[in-house]
Amino acid sequence: MTNDRRLWADLTTEDVADLAKDRTVVVQPIGAVEQHGPHLPLITDALTAETIARTAVRRLGPDSGTWVLPTLHYGKSTEHLGRPGTIAMSANTLLSVCLDLGESLAACGVRKLVFVNGHGGQPSLLDVVSRDIRHRFGLEVFSLMPSRFGLPDGVEDPDPFGIHGGFVETSLVMAIAPELVRLDRAVADGLAAGAFYRAQRHLTLEGVVPTAWLIDDVSASGVVGDPTGADARTGELLLDHWSGLLAEALTEVRDFAFPRLAEPLPAPLGGPLPVPHDGSTV
């Protein structure tokens, strides 16, 4: 069986039946359809997640046992509801979709599932549903967001607070689909919110003490950051960096197994484990 695209949907049912399930990793790109300011397309998060996932899997080659599912384009975009173009799933809907996905893959014999997420509004939800899939259907599930790998050497975000439609995200889309970027419309926004949160000791939009924010709380244009200096070369560096690290992570996922306790638990510091009167161990 030859499939250089490594796309699950290209396979036949016989192809899937013949896969070595103990060495098969299925990757689910997931994003959103939501406003990204006046210069980026609504599909930004889904487009970037899909491109990074497909690029990573192609880098692994035809013998990696890794396959990419059709992208889940809609996501939990509650914070952008009301802005033209945004289409959001509720938490319950997205949880149900992901659970159904896990059940279906388990019925196919698949044992490993990786969510590659492009939307900052749903990592917590994906963490929750990943554990539920593990509990209900036995899959080993991993949820990651490529941007959390950090920036490559030589790339600096002029506004580290730029979490939505800013320099990094705009540069990435310019590298993937430049025809969809209207850089002449790009505006810097949300900078006052950035300054406010930088002055706090603990509070932030996303972090140790996050704020449950809506886009209207922090931005007039829908952008949080400064996209005006974005460029495709930076986007190419980001794509190469994130897809390379994702490829490494997927290899670790393929070879992963939960460690089993080969030796008895050590005795507590106070001495050996107590022995009940009937002679059995606690």
N-term to C-term CA, the chain? 53
CA 236, 116, 126, 33 torsion: positive or negative?
Answer: positive
Q: What is the pLDDT of residue 85?
A: 98
State pTM to two decimals: 0.90
**pLDDT of 116-172, one tens digit each?**
999 999 999 999 999 999 999 999 999 999 999 999 999 999 887 899 999 999 999
Q: Please report the DSSP string for 140-203 in residue order.
A: EEEEE-GGGG-PPTT---S-TT--BSSHHHHHHHHHH-GGG--GGG---B-HHHHHHHHT-SSE
Q: For residue 141, how far is the Cα from the chain centroid? A: 12
**pLDDT of 213-225, one tens digit each?**
999 999 999 999 9
Q: Label residue 194 by pLDDT band (50, 70, 90).
A: confident
Joined together, the tokens standing for residue 268 give 């507590």
DSSP state of 40: B
Q: What is the pLDDT of residue 274?
A: 47
Domain spanning 19-252 has what CATH number?
3.40.50.10310
